[in-house]
Structure 1
Amino acid sequence: MSVSASFDLLLRGGRVICPASGIDGAFDVAVRSGKIAAVQKDILPSSAKEVVDVAGQLVLPGLIDTHAHIYQYVSGRFGMNPDMVGVRSGVTALIDQGGPSCMTLPGFRHFIAEPAKSRVYAFLSAYLVGGLEGHYYPQLYSPEGVDIDATVKAARANPDIVRGIKAHAEIGGFARWGIRVIEMAAEIGRQADLPVYVHFGQLWGLPESGANGEDADTILTRVIPLLKEGDVLAHPFTRHPGGFINREGVVHPVIQAALDRGLRVDVGHGSHFSYRLAKMAIAGGIVPTTLGADIHGYNTHVPAPAGTPDQHEDEENHPFAGQAKFSLVQAMSSMMALGLSLEQVVPMVTANPAKMIARSDEIGALKVGMAADVSVLTQRPGRFVLRDNENTEVIADSLLQPAFCLRAGVRYDADASILPEAVAA
């Protein structure tokens, strides 16, 4: 170590992939005062106070999870500890999808966003109640539970955290109230000038009166015309009715037209994901823009918060039950097992999410002067079994696993209890 070392930390010898910079190759990454100081070949080790050998590993811009559930305790079993799914899983930035509402946003800021070591953003719920366990209490998500003016006001007043609006377009809601909630959510997005992230695929279940004449296969056709450029269609590979694949087993024809006019697609992996339907959608030309993990306390079997009602404990046949352990990096492996290349997947968790929330100058790139948010992954060759919630298995010929990340230059090892172990084929 040189007494006059000009860098605090040097990541040396890895494969650096930064889609925003057009970089893919053997480079060293130097950090000074929590910021990227250099991305070059063959930086002298003596120029840094600390050198970390990352030869054989992938060095990426800090990963961004576009679908997180981190309003811990407030959103019941859904709410995860932000740093468990964030920096302790190799992910430096999280976008909570619909946890806080205009009423509960101050608590989200004070108790979640500010204390977290991970970067935290949110898509504000279109509903006053926010991301409560709505599958138990769907009556809270009616049009009467939406206040357009209050939600727009909260979004405009909190641009550092609120980067979009979250809503649901699913058969249970349509059977109860028709399309009105989505019309209101789209209006919030227009007035706040923010993207609207729309959940597709059945979520709340049907009322006792049944579908009330609604058809899940028509929801996309009716909702997409309400949306604008930059809005996000979520869960394209859902195993539930109302997704991108209709009952005839083909991609809805409205999807390509939506993409052509600038709408985006987020995987929202989690417990909705189906390899069977994903193969159909990808074969039909659907390549997602972003890759949200959609990890929550139901699909990771995290112990319930104290005081959670007993009804929440019965998970044997729960619609959200799924992987006991999961991560955004595992979701990356999932996409690659479906035939997408590493070079296609990396933008889904770096440059594209940063663009989605209009923060490309802040995150999603390894550029000199930006905060040193860096994710280091190991790519293990071999044959590994990946399984979805339909118990469909695919074989991956390599597996990505997080090693550690830097958040503003501070190192966090990937030691989260939810990280899955490799299962050899």
Structure 2
Amino acid sequence: MSQLLLQGGRVIDPAAGLDATLDILVEGQLIAAIGPALSAMAPTAQVVDCRDMLVLPGLIDTHGHVYQYVTGRFGLNADQCGVRSGVTTIVDQGGASCITIPGFRHFVAEPAATRVFAYISAYLVGGLEGHYYPDLYRPDCLDAAATVKSALANADLVKGVKAHAEIGGFARWGLDVMKIASKIGRDAILPVYIHFGQLWPKPESGGRAVNPDSIFNQVVDTLKPGDILAHPFSRHPGGFVEENGKLHPLVHEAVARGLKIDVGHGSHFSFKTARVVLDSGVIPDTLGADMHGYNTHVPSPAGTPDSHPDEEHSFLGRTQFSLVSAMTSMLALGLPLHHVVAMATSNAAKMIGMEGELGTLKAGGVADITVLDDKRGRWVLEDNEGTQVVTERMLAPRFCLRDGVRYDADAPQLPLARAA
């Protein structure tokens, strides 16, 4: 059996309370040992020098869009977002539905080198073109019983339910869609992941008038402990921050009820909003990159739309991001390294019900490992509002092991650092 020795890196595993300079010996698909100076255990092992690098449990991206081709321009290649970006596991958010989950399994999850799971869409059509066609997402385009049946029959793949709480939907159908999505989650005994944001089409294109500040509390009232509120740092109204620029008064209550928070970075991430939320004492549990075909430079399939009508989905030319660059943004905002690592490892594993199996490093466990460069200097980070933040610490993916197989971080959409 082949042996690989990751030598001398800073090994951080929040689940195990581990932070030390150690070696990790990998044999085949498993971790054989973790400890100091392991070279004597495996004199013939291939040695990888990890000095000055972070060696972490395989990163888990809790918010991906990787139903490539079936969701049109929206879906990206799973391995470009995954192992080729230093990410060993990715959770597709709402691309597959009860109708299309067999195709997702056969054409995406099974052939991918990346470990792929799904939060099944509450909608019959899934995430076609990032909800480009709004009439496909009205209440009579959901089937709770069929979605529950599909989720239970594909329990190895489906780890939750994806739904939307945005002004466009509330303007047309109020809370009806959210109530159905909540029922799916309860009946399937799965967490529901809620998108907050101003998803196209906006209220002015038809429907009832909506007070954005009323959406958060209406949605929270439908949810159960363990459900996930996404996009706390969105620049759009209707979520965590009210139009007056202050934290919605029910956010702390929602956390106290047991609801979880996922950053879901995306192109609508705002440093200003993040500052309001964090300064109010609200710390997200998980990260999630939220990359898709409308907010990256990846070429789109022929014949798909040139752009998305929703500005939230449009790449405005200022930023390019990944899960690891989102980790850098969290550090720049002042979150501790250990919590940022936990967001993308142990906390993410809890979100998909795989705590102790993924998101941790242990002898005898699966050899899913991410190795990052941890650089010091001065770099400029910029969001799509044009807000700039200077950071003195930059994380960048070097490579990862997925089931013991090495993949270098060479994805073409990985962002380039910009010196201050």
Task: Report the TM-score, using the length of structure 1 for normalisation.
Answer: 0.95
Q: Tell whether the 8 Å contact from 2:5 to 2:39 is kept in structure 1 after alignment.
A: no
Matched, 1:127 2:120: no
Cα distance in 1, alignment partners of residues 378 and 35 from structure 2: 34
Asked whether the 8 Å contact 1:233–1:265 carries over to 2, the reply is yes
Tell me how far apart the structure 2 counterparts of residues 330 and 305 of structure 1 sit (CA, whole Å): 26
Partner of 1:110: 106
CA shift for structure 1 position 321: 2.4
Answer yes or no: is 1:250 the counterpart of 2:246.
Answer: yes
- CA offset digits 1:369-408 (Å, max 9, x no partner): 2110000000110110111111111111110000000000
Superposed counterparts of 1:112-261, under 5 Å: 112-207=108-203, 210=206, 212-261=208-257
The answer on whether the counterparts of 2:71 and 2:130 sit within 8 Å (CA) in structure 1 is no
Equivalence map 1:281-292=2 (5 Å): 281-292=277-288
**Mapped pair 1:320 → 2:313:** yes
Equivalences for residues 56-95 of structure 1 within 5 A: 56-95=52-91
Distance 1:338 1:218 in 2: 28
Pair 1:23 & 2:18 matched: yes
Q: Does the 8 Å CA contact 1:10/1:45 hold for their aligned counterparts?
A: no
2:212, 2:238 within 8 Å by CA — same for their partners in 1?
A: yes
Which amino acid in 2 is paired with 1:330?
A: S
- Alpha-carbon distance in structure 2 between the residues aligned to 1:78 and 1:316: 13
Moved more, 259-268 or 58-67: 259-268
Unmatched 5+ residue regions in structure 2? none
Name the aligned partner's letter for residue 327 of structure 2: M
Give a deviation string over 1:159-211, Cα, whole Å, max 9, x none.
11100000000111000001000000000000000000000011123255645
| Identity of matched residues, % | 58
Residues 123-151 of structure 1 deviation map (CA, whole Å, 9 limit, x = unaligned): 00000000112542111101011000000
Q: Is the 8 A contact 1:324 1:418 kept in 2?
A: no
Could you say if the C-alpha distance between residues 340 and 9 of structure 1 is closer, same or farther in structure 2, counting changes exceeding 3 Å?
A: same
State the alpha-carbon separation in 1 of the partners of residues 121 and 201 from structure 2.
20
Superposition deviation, residue 215 in structure 1: 1.1
- Residue 3 of structure 1 aligns with which residue? none
Aligned-pair RMSD on alpha carbons?
1.5
Post-superposition offset of 1:285? 0.9
User: Does the CA-based 8 Å contact 2:165-2:194 persist in structure 1?
Assistant: yes
1:42 aligns with 2:27: no
Which deviations, in whole Å up to 9, do the C-alpha atoms of 1:15-41 show, x marking residues without a partner?
000011110111111111210111111
Query: Residue by residue, what CA displacement relative to the aligned partner does 1:234-270 show, whole Å, maximum 9, x if unpaired?
Result: 0001011112010121111211111112110000001
Q: 1:336 matched to which residue of 2?
A: 331
* In structure 2, C-alpha distance between the alignment counterparts of 1:19 and 1:59, rounded to whole Å: 12
Q: Indicate conservation of the 8 Å contact 1:135/1:205, yes or no.
A: no
Letter in 2 for 1:370: G
- Distance in 2 between residues matched to 1:191 and 1:95, nearest whole Å: 21
Q: Residue 7 of structure 1 contacts residue 37 of structure 1 at CA under 8 Å; is this kept in 2?
A: no
Worse-superposed segment, 234-243 or 112-121: 234-243
Moved more, 396-405 or 254-263: 254-263
Q: Number of matched residues? A: 417
Deviations 1:274-331 (A, max 9, x none): 01110111001111100000001111121110222xxx21479943223563210000
Contact 2:307–2:314 (CA under 8 A) maintained in structure 1: no
> What is the alpha-carbon distance in structure 1 between the residues aligned to residue 314 and residue 382 of structure 2?
13
Is this contact kept in 2: 1:134–1:140, CA < 8 A?
no
Aligned 8 A contact 2:61 2:89 in 1: yes
2:342 to 334, 347, 358: 347
Secondary structure of 2:312's aligned partner: coil
What SS does structure 1 have at the residue aligned with 2:297? coil
Q: Secondary structure at the match of 1:20?
A: helix
Q: Partner letter of residue 6 of structure 2?
A: L
Write out per-residue CA displacement over residues 79-100 of structure 1, whole angstroms, 9 at most, x where no aligned residue. Answer: 0000000000000000000000
Q: Structure 2 CA distance, aligned partners of 1:128 and 1:170?
A: 18
Displacement of 1:71 = 0.2
- Which range moves more in the overlay, 78-87 or 318-327? 318-327
What is the rounded CA distance, in whole Å, between the counterparts of 1:279 and 1:148 in structure 2? 38
CA distance in 1, matches of 2:401, 2:339: 23
The structure 1 residue matched to 2:265, chosen from 269, 281, 288, is 269
After TM superposition, the structure 1 stretch with the greater mean CA deviation from structure 2, 393-402 or 248-257, is: 248-257
Cα distance in 1 for residues equivalent to 2:203 and 2:279: 35
8 Å CA contact retained: 1:67, 1:94: yes
Q: Is 2:394 aligned against 1:360? A: no
Distance 2:308 2:199 in 1: 16
Q: Which residue of 2 aligns with 1:408?
A: 403
Q: Which runs of 5+ in 1 are unaligned?
A: 1-5
Q: Deviations over 1:322-345 (max 9, x none)?
A: 356321000000111111121120
- 1:420 paired with 2:415, answer yes
Find the residue that maps to 1:401 and give its secondary structure: strand
2:156 aligned partner, one-letter code: D
